Each structure stands twice: as C-alpha cells, then as structure tokens.
Structure 1
Amino acid sequence: MPAPLFESSFLQDTLKPSATSPRSITLSNGVQMSLLQKGVLKISPPADAKQAKHMVISSAVHGNETAPIEMVDDLASQIASESIVPQHHLLLIIAHPKAILAEERFVETNLNRLFGDADYPQSEELALAVSLKEQVTQFWQDVPMASRWHLDMHCSIRASKHYTFAISPQSAYPTRQKEFIDFMQNAGIEAVLLSEEPSSTFSWFSSSKFGAQAATLELGQVAKFGHNDMSKLAQFHKAFLELVQSIESSTATDMITYQVDSSIYRENMDFEFYFDKALPNFSRFAEGEELGKDGDKALTMPVEQGGVVFPNPNVELKQRAALIVKPCATRYVDNQLTVID
C-alpha cells in the first residue's frame, strides 16, 4: 500500500509553513493523485472513465472565504479515502494559504484582480497569480476546449438577496453552454450575472483565454471556519459531488438571469457610497437615484430596475467598486445561453 499523500489533509498540509515537495500516489481504484505544489492537487480518474472533462475547482482566491475551502478539502479527503471515485480530471486549488492563516481576503492586494494582461506591480498575490496561470495552462494543454471547465468558488463579503449566485465572465468563445448552465441550476444557484466586460478575474482568465465553461460562484457569506451554515449550501454540495462522479442530477431549480450593465471604478481617494454599509447585494435603486460620489462626480443609477452588486468603497484606486446589473430574458441559441434584446 502506498504512503498517504497527505500528512494531515489537503488543507492542513497547504497551511503548513514548510515547503511542499511534489509527490504522487495511485489509489487501489486506479485514481492518481499528484500534489504539484502547495495548494495545487491534480487528480486523474481511473483509466476506464468515459468522456472525462478537465475541471479546475478553485477556492481561497480570497483567504477568508472558507465554505469553498472546506468543500475542496472534503472532496480531496473523500477521493483519497476512496469514498468517491472521480470520473473527471480535476485540478483542485487552495490558492492563498497566507491569507487563510491571516483570516483576510488578501495580504497585499486583491488576487482576483491579477489574472488579466496588465503589467501589475510586484506583490505576494502577483506571484500566486502567475503560478496559478501556469498550472492551469499546463493542465489544459492539448485538451479539447469543450472539456475545459472551471468552478472558481467564493463567498460574498455582504449579505445578498440571492444566497448563491454566479458571474459568467465575458469571452469570445461559447462559454455558456447548456450543460454548464444546467449544472448551476441543479446546484441551486439562484441567479447568474452575464458580463460582457473584459475583466481580470480567475474565471475570466479561463473563459477568455481557454474557452472554458467558467464562472465565479458566490456561495453564501464570509464566515470563519466551522461557522458556515452548510445546510444552505446542501443542494450545491450534492450537485458538486455528483458532477465530479458523473452522476446525473434532477434537482434543477429556477435561476434568475441578470445582465451586467456597467461597472463603477474608484478613481479618487474621496469616494463613498451613500447607502447603508450592510445593504444586501442586488438591492435596487430608481433610475437616476444617487448612489454615492467619486471625487466631484456624482454616482447615479444608470438603468431602470438596476441593482448594485459587490459595492465596496474601500477598493484600491482604479479597481472595481461595484457592478450595476439589471434583469434580462434569455434563450438558447446554438446551445449557448443568450440575452434576448
């Protein structure tokens, strides 16, 4: 019997200060597990797996968003103990160990704003972003585009009118295929935001550069380890494990679709929102209603039925301080979820 891959668990080994030496094992069921670097675990299904996808499943891009970390760690443990047998190639990621230990979103700057093509200043997070981009690129090398999936799992800072929701990033590729949208519905994702604005997030990197079926998944609100209400994520967790095992699910729920109308970027140090700091995501404002100010510029709601998502007046200069969204109707065109104008 081979030696266990982990001394404690995927998460606990990732959080240890010592360096991680790459190592691999083959389980008795034929599953191969390879620890590529600290926080990056590659899993290959048994040789007889049919129509296997190559799925990136990432967590801890923000270190204090613990529910996704717990789910990724649980998945690694269940596979290592042979409790479940994955039918897809997996790249499991616990992205930011130092931020996890600090119980903060980041150490120097927001990691989820560093996956674009810009020339970013050197930082702890930039080194992580470069490393993760390299791992994903290698994982998807010579893999058909249709087989590339990426679930980048997060938690919202604030409460939300939708407990779970997803952001489908902009891409020139058909990255909103029915199978992927069906998974989100099966998983109880309450709403999906369709963005057509280039970004610099991890899921945008995967969708725009590799044509992956990719989304940023917001799973509840930030909480400390052991304090997440996992009962509210039970449908997602069930569908997540079924996806990995290629078990068909029939628990689809209705999902509201929003179109991202625009983004608010912070341009000045004198920046604020006028609404309550605890205002839930997706709260609506009348068209023309004042939202705040950026220097001498008034920030107003530009659309009817407009809602505000991810408002954060404390972001760094030039970074996104909020999304403006509006409900939209959709249909499938050539198997791709498409907004009806």
Structure 2
Amino acid sequence: MTSNAERYLPPMLADFLAFTLAGDPPAVAQARGELANGVCYTWLELGVLQLEPAAAGEAPTEASASVASVLLSAGVHGDETAPIELLSRLVADIAQGTLRLACRVLVVLGNPAAMRAAQRYVDDDLNRLFCGRHAQLAGGREKARAERLEALTAQFFAQAATLGAAARWHVDMHTAIRSSVFEQFALLPHTAAGPSRAMFDWLAFAHIAAVLLHTAKGTTYTQFTAETFGALACTLELGKVRPFGDNDLSRFTAADNAARALVAGALPPRDGAAMPRVFTVVDQITKHSDAFELLAMGADVPNFTPFAKGTMLARDGTYRYVVERDEERIVFPNPAVKPGLRAALLVIETTSETLAALGA
C-alpha cells in the first residue's frame, strides 16, 4: 500500500516556492487535477494556486454551504521570505494529505519577479496598488500584477458566493524591514464594521503580540479584500527581512499553526492565550521630496519605539512632524520610499477600549 509520503505530487505542489521562482507554467495535464485525498487543485497564474476540498466541488449541499473561503498570501514584497517558505510548506502538506483541507484556499505568492530579484519590488510597491490605485500608473510590472491579482481574487470570492460560503478570510503575511518591539504583530484595514472578535481570537491563538488598527482606508491587498468582499483580513508581520534559506521558521510556529488550523476548520478556543495589545494610528509622516529626513532615530530603531511629546521626528523643506501627544510610537519608518508615499505611521495604545468593545 502506498503511503501519503510516497504519492507522486506535481512539482508545483511538492515545492510551490521553487516552482514559482522557476517561472514556467505547469504542463497542461498538470495545471489542474485531483489528489488521492480528494483535494482538487488548479494553477491559475504564476504564484497563484487554488485548492478545494472534495465537498466544495460537489453539487451544493448543506455541508458545502458551510465551506469557508480563505486567501493566504505572502511575497507581496519579494524580499520578505519567511512567510513565503511557510506557505510553500503548507501547500505541500495539504497535497500530501498530512494537513486536512476543510475550506477553499487561494494561495498567492504576490510578486514573483521581486522574489527572484530578492527585492521589495521591481518598479512600484505592489502593496500600495490595490483598490484600483494601479490605474494611476502608466505601466510597470507591479501595475500589471496588481490588476491580475485583483481579478483572480474577485473570481475566487465570487465562487465563494456561489457556494454560499459562510466565511471569507484573508491573511497576508509579511516581514518587516526593521526589528520590532513586538516581533510578530498584525495590521487590520479600516472598515465600517470595525474590528472583529473572531479575528482577535485567531490572532491570540497565533500568539500575535500586538495589533495596529488603521483609521483610514488604504490601498493594500487586505484593504481590497476587506472592503470589496467583506473578508476578515489582516496583515501579519513575522520577523525581519532575510534571504531565502536564512529564516528560523520555528520562531513562527504559532502563526503557522493558526493558518493551518484555519484551513483545516479546526480552530480551538484561545485556551487562555493573551489577547494582543492594540495600537491605533493617529497620524502618518509622508515623504514630499528628496530632501526628506527622519530625525531622532537611526536605521536600527525598532518598530513601535515610543517618542515623547515635543520630539521632532521628520522634516522635509518647510514641513515638520513633531509629536503632539504624551507618547507616540513610530511604525514602518522608511525614508527610502518614493516622494508622495508614507514614510512612517504614528500610533498610540488603545488596548483597553478596543478589547472592551469586542466584549473581551
């Protein structure tokens, strides 16, 4: 009798990362199929793979109507490698049958060209081009990729509506350029519905230490899925940028387990896991010109570093940013962005009021 480990797998399922980096489409006969465990797979585009449990492909029933739709993405920034490696392993384990699949899953490795170049992006920051913002660009590789990812994502969630799926999730996994006071943290896009208790429970299960709440709509991938499709969406920041192969993936076991539990439909209760601390965006620093400077911090200042009232954090010609509150923490300081883009976020802690509103 052949074991799961001995079953032949198409190369794109055995090592989805290596297959994507190679850049070639699968042979026609291997672009879609059904595995021995009943999982159906479809290669949609370079770096984009759809997986479905057996129930999702059958005629709609009461059981299939409860199948969730989960989008798992990584590599939207090409040099953020740890979560790309985690997703590739997750695909292989689903294909081998060692990880049960109980929902529809769309796996997206966002920016293969930047992944191959070991760069954040090639022409433009892909995670600033969703919600239609790509239409403002004349050209570029990320513009075309954003357009295509929006279309494939819309197709995926439209099929979820046809199946009557009970839940839509999007977990977009990144790593930070800098170290952080909280090594693993999450960002939630701004929506009219506000934060979700289900999302906070999942983040606690994933041992995420802090959550950043946006207070204005952005143009990120998670903003697109949350606003357009009502998905429970979060951006996870897992450690720092490192080359492929240099990551200690054991540091992200809790987040990996949470993603696996989500696709297996086996989310347990929090079991006493601490809720994350919560921070809310109160301002941002925008780079207006090449004269822009970030002050009072070096390249090694971690995310969530606090600054006291009166501290000047940035200047750009006549523009100054001075801390106005007793304490503001800086997140994602990056003076190397293009003029017109965000160079940093400023946040304050709002843990008590946010968790109280969730009923926690």
TM-score normalised by structure 1 residue count: 0.92
Note the C-alpha offset of 1:302: 2.9
Deviates more, 1:247-256 or 1:99-108: 247-256
Name the CA shift for 1:317/1:218 in 2 (closer, same or farther; >3 Å). same
Q: Counterpart in 1 of 2:24? A: 18
Name the CA shift for 1:93/1:50 in 2 (closer, same or farther; >3 Å). same
- Is structure 2 residue 148 aligned with structure 1 residue 131? yes
1:279 pairs, out of 289, 301, 322, with 301
Q: Counterpart in 2 of 1:150? A: 170
> 2:150 is matched by which residue type in structure 1?
K
Superposed CA offset, 1:29-70 (max 9, x none): 211111111100101113166732101100000001011100
- Is structure 2 residue 234 aligned with structure 1 residue 215? yes
Q: Counterpart in 2 of 1:98? A: 113
Q: Which runs of 5+ in 1 are unaligned?
A: none
2:344 pairs, out of 311, 322, 326, with 322
Q: Counterpart in 1 of 2:284? A: 263
What does residue range 196-211 of structure 1 map to in structure 2 within 5 Å? 196-211=215-230
Note the C-alpha offset of 1:17: 3.2
What does residue range 299-318 of structure 1 map to in structure 2 within 5 Å? 299-318=321-340
Name the CA shift for 1:156/1:338 in 2 (closer, same or farther; >3 Å). farther
Note the C-alpha offset of 1:4: 3.4
> 2:216 is matched by which residue type in structure 1?
E
1:30 pairs, out of 24, 38, 47, with 38
Query: Hey, what's the Cα distance between the residues in 2 that align with 1:17 and 1:57?
Result: 20
Q: Which runs of 5+ in 2 are unaligned?
A: 56-62
Deviates more, 1:256-265 or 1:245-254: 245-254
Q: Counterpart in 2 of 1:4? A: 9
> 1:294 is matched by which residue type in structure 2?
D
Query: Hey, what's the Cα distance between the residues in 1 that align with 2:354 and 2:9?
Result: 48
> 1:260 is matched by which residue type in structure 2?
V
> 1:123 is matched by which residue type in structure 2?
G
Verify the 8 A CA contact 1:50 1:87 in the aligned structure 2: no
RMSD: 2.2
Query: Hey, what's the Cα distance between the residues in 2 that align with 1:317 and 1:267?
Result: 5
Deviates more, 1:5-14 or 1:229-238: 5-14
Note the C-alpha offset of 1:229: 2.1
Note the C-alpha offset of 1:76: 0.6
Name the CA shift for 1:337/1:265 in 2 (closer, same or farther; >3 Å). farther
Verify the 8 A CA contact 1:40 1:91 in the aligned structure 2: yes
Instruction: Determine helix, strand or coil for the equivalent of 2:325.
Output: coil
Superposed CA offset, 1:75-134 (max 9, x none): 110011111121111000111111111111011111000003333211100111000000
Instruction: Determine helix, strand or coil for the equivalent of 2:87.
Output: helix
Count of aligned pairs between the two proteins: 336
Instruction: Determine helix, strand or coil for the equivalent of 2:228.
Output: helix
Instruction: Determine helix, strand or coil for the equivalent of 2:347.
Output: strand
Verify the 8 A CA contact 1:154 1:219 in the aligned structure 2: yes
Query: Hey, what's the Cα distance between the residues in 2 that align with 1:268 and 1:302?
Result: 23
Query: Hey, what's the Cα distance between the residues in 2 that align with 1:42 and 1:155?
Result: 24
Instruction: Determine helix, strand or coil for the equivalent of 2:239.
Output: strand
- Is structure 2 residue 48 aligned with structure 1 residue 40? yes
Query: Hey, what's the Cα distance between the residues in 1 that align with 2:325 and 2:71?
Result: 35
